[in-house]
Structure 1
Amino acid sequence: MIGAIIGDTVGSIYEFENYKAKDFELFPDGVSPTDDSILSFATADWIMRGGEAWKYYVAYASKYECPVGGYGGGFTRYVAKARRDGFGTPYDSCGNGSAMRISPVGWAFNTKEEVLAKAKESAECTHNHPEGIKGAQATALAIFMARMGASKDEIKTTIESEFGYDLNFTIDELRPEYSWSYPGAALCQGTVPQAIRCVLEATDYEDAIRNAVSLGGDSDTLACIAGGIAEAVFGVPQKIYKVGMNILKYYFPEPHKLVTEFEKKYGNRIFQ
């Protein structure tokens, strides 16, 4: 889970000022967790406490503002309507919000069937479009497979065969044409395959994050999704973990405790 939060944090200042190279400073002044992390906290809380997922997404979005950026327009309207009516009404979205918040599911369950079912449950309370559900499931399954020791080739083959994503491109090929104007850049189908490819080409966790940010477009979400998978594939270096956790604690002290509790219960991959 922390791999996704760190990816989101690193990408936060590049979302609307894209940097199309990999030589950027990892934690410059101004980086912070965004809505991607806040809703990941909600997913983790839902998993640990139980109940209906939508209530957690509404509660966290109502309680926490984003230091950088903000919640998407469709989700903001969803939250307002849910608070007024007392229930959440899915809005047929295939936006990448369903995938950016899903990393805790990949860590918390120990069978493929559970992971896919919980990813669907997390997604469909808001993003009930088939592509919205698919993006969440593909991300969670990639994390789960990596946790269980699957190779990058095995992950690639499974994601392609089960979800129909084409992962046969390179980041260098895609980078020149990828931006906010790229077809589907804010949707699961235009974000999840690209984030997965960032991990497949990477040599380590940091390289996966640099791949994601360097693409441009929705940089924080690309790096959040890639970071969640990369943690399970490579592990997060202790130095990066400490900086990421310190930033998280500064901006969100209560969720920092939640993340610590979640990782104590379900584990993470941190190395020296």
Structure 2
Amino acid sequence: MLGAIIGDIVGSVYEFDNIKTKDFPLFREDCRFTDDTVMTIAVRNALRIYDKEKDIQSFQAALIAEMQRLGRKYADRGYGGRFAKWLWMEDPKPYGSYGNGAAMRVSPVGEYASSLEEALKLAKASALVSHDHPEGIKGAQAAAAAVFLARQEGWGKARIKNFIEGEFYRLDFTLAEIRETYTFDVSCQGSVPQALACFFEGESFEDVIRNCISIGGDCDTTAAIAGSIAEGYYGLPEEIVERARTYLGEIEEEM
């Protein structure tokens, strides 16, 4: 989860000011956590309920409650228009979204799951409360599966990539090929494959994050997705964790 939060914080200042290079200060004074962090924490908190009851409906009810509670508490963190309305509904329903919000918040599922099957089941359940379009579910499941597999012994990058390409997305491009032309895209199908590619081409946790910023687009979200996978694969440099924590403030108490 911290890998996702770090990616979100680093990418926050480049989301609407793309730079198309890997040469940049990892943290700037104006960095901040965004909706990616808030909703990731909400998923983690809802999983605590699931851990006690092992019931999908209870998990989804807890997730809705936590997303609304934290979303309302941190209402200025850059939510999409329809999701911002969802956060304040008395009886929120899914609205057919295939936005990348389903994928950017799902990393705690990949960390928590005891099997790939459980990761996919929980990822789908987490998406369905708001992002119930097949592409929204697909994005959440691909991200959660990658997080889960990155943490398993014997699953190198080539094996993980083969699984992702067999089940979810063709990754038949390189970052160099898309860097100049890739633009802002908040759909799962237009950002999750790119986030995955950033992980597969990365050489360290930090390099994965830099890859995401360098291709532009919705880079706080792609960095959150790729960062959560890279955390499981590489671990987290302590100095980066400590720097990121300085941007969290009181929300760290919710983790």
TM norm structure 1: 0.87
1:134-187 Cα offsets, whole Å, 9 max, x none, are 100000000100111211111100011011x1112110111011012xxxx110
Q: 2:86 aligns with which of 78, 86, 91?
A: 78
> Residue 158 of structure 1 is aligned with which of 157, 160, 163?
163
- In structure 1, the residue matched to 2:13 is 13
C-alpha separation between the residues in 1 aligned to 2:219 and 2:92? 28
Partners of 1:176 and 1:204 in 2: CA distance:
23
Question: Secondary structure of the equivalent of 1:14?
Answer: coil
Amino acid at match of 1:15: E
Q: 1:92 aligns with which of 91, 96, 107?
A: 96
Q: 3-state DSSP class of the match of 2:221?
A: helix
1:110-121 pair list within 5 angstroms: 110-121=114-125
Instruction: Report the equivalent of 1:170.
Output: 174
CA deviation after TM superposition for structure 1 residue 41, in Å: 0.8
Q: Partner letter of residue 114 of structure 1? A: E
RMSD over aligned CA atoms reads: 1.1
What's 1:270 paired with?
none
Q: Which portions of structure 1, spanning 4 or more consecutive aligned residues, are displaced by more than 3 angstroms?
A: none
Query: In structure 2, what is the Cα distance between the partners aligned to 1:33 and 1:103?
Result: 16
Once residues 113 and 226 of structure 1 are traced to their aligned partners in structure 2, the CA distance between those partners, rounded to angstroms, is 21
Q: Which amino acid aligns with 2:17?
A: E
Map 1:226-245; keep pairs closer than 5 Å: 226-245=226-245
The CA distance in 1 between the partners of 2:245 and 2:160, in whole Å, is: 28
Q: C-alpha displacement at 1:246, in angstroms? A: 2.3
State the match for 1:262 in structure 2: none
1:59 counterpart SS class: helix
User: What whole-Å deviation, never above 9, does each CA across 1:205-257 have from its counterpart, x for those lacking one?
Assistant: 00000000111111100111110111111111111011112222x2xx2x313
Amino acid at match of 1:92: G
Partners of 1:29 and 1:17 in 2: CA distance: 15
CA distance in 2, matches of 1:161, 1:258: 37
The separation in 2 between residues aligned to 1:63 and 1:245, in whole angstroms, is 19
CA deviation vs aligned residue, 1:87-142 (integer Å, no higher than 9, x gap): 22100000000000001001111111111111011001000000000100000000
Matched pairs, number? 244
Aligned-pair CA distance for 1:57: 1.3
Matched, 1:257 2:245: no
Q: Which runs of 5+ in 1 are unaligned?
A: 260-272
Point out where structure 2 has 5 or more consecutive residues left out of the alignment: 51-57
Aligned with residue 71 of structure 2, among 26, 51, 61: 61
CA distance in 2, matches of 1:151, 1:75: 36
Aligned to 1:45: 45
